[in-house]
Amino acid sequence: EGGCDDRTDGEHDKISVVLEVFGVSALPDDRGAQRRLGPGESQSTYYMAAPSATRIQRWDLDDVVILCGTGGELLAEEIAGIIGLPSSSCLPIRSSDGESHVRVGANVRGRDVFVVQSTSDPVNSTLIELAFILSACRRASARRVTAVTPYLGYGRQTRKAKSRVPISAADVATLLEECCLDGLVTIDAHDAMIAGFYSPRCAFENLSYVPVAARFLARKGFKSSVVVAPATSTVTYAMT
């Protein structure tokens, strides 16, 4: 089996973000070993990664389970391929009245579970699906449940701009924590103050894609370029 020398710069950037979240690091030569998947596994090869010497005590990959809902199938497969683990789907079954029936597709008892699910369009459907998966994992005796939610729905509704309106971002935080969420990982949340809506017992990680985007643009070697901020809340990102 050959190495992984043919990975693009963009793939290396994605790998670095994934390894940061899961507490593992690439092998010294940044190649890693490969293995063939068994029957029923979804990709042709998985890239293996060596546990980080500094964080091995926190994450034992043998005790990690990667789950996904309808809002994270492709990303979960890619994450699983990078760190060398299979992923299991929790795709809901829709009943005739529109209800979602979720079943966790892996044994999670006593294990650290990462649920990959963006709460994007349709936001209400993917959000309630995430809540059901979190609850199912806890009821199945998972040791710790972390949601990997690149896009966090209702992230723009962080204040009471008018009378008689909810602060929806806070209500979403309450919903997920009531479903026994232990940690949440998102990327460039619309407002950093969202972290304050989660209690201290729920670790909130707001990762930034700015360093990855900056490296990408630097490699392109643009001599005359302009970075545009689509909203006032992203001016800081554009300046960075």
The pLDDT of residue 58 is above 90:
no
- For the stretch 16-48, pLDDT in tens is 555 555 554 443 333 333 333 344 443 333 333
What pLDDT is attached to residue 22? 55
What pLDDT is attached to residue 127? 95
Instruction: Compare 47 and 149 and report the one with higher pLDDT.
Output: 149
What pLDDT is attached to residue 82? 85
- For the stretch 180-190, pLDDT in tens is 999 999 998 88
User: Could you tell me the CA-to-CA distances from 228 to 48, 157, 204, 231, 240 in Å, in that order?
Assistant: 38, 23, 28, 9, 12
pTM: 0.73
Instruction: Compare 210 and 162 and report the one with higher pLDDT.
Output: 162
Omega before 122 within 30 of 0, i.e. cis: yes
Read off the pLDDT of each residue in 211-231 and give the average, rounded to a whole number: 82
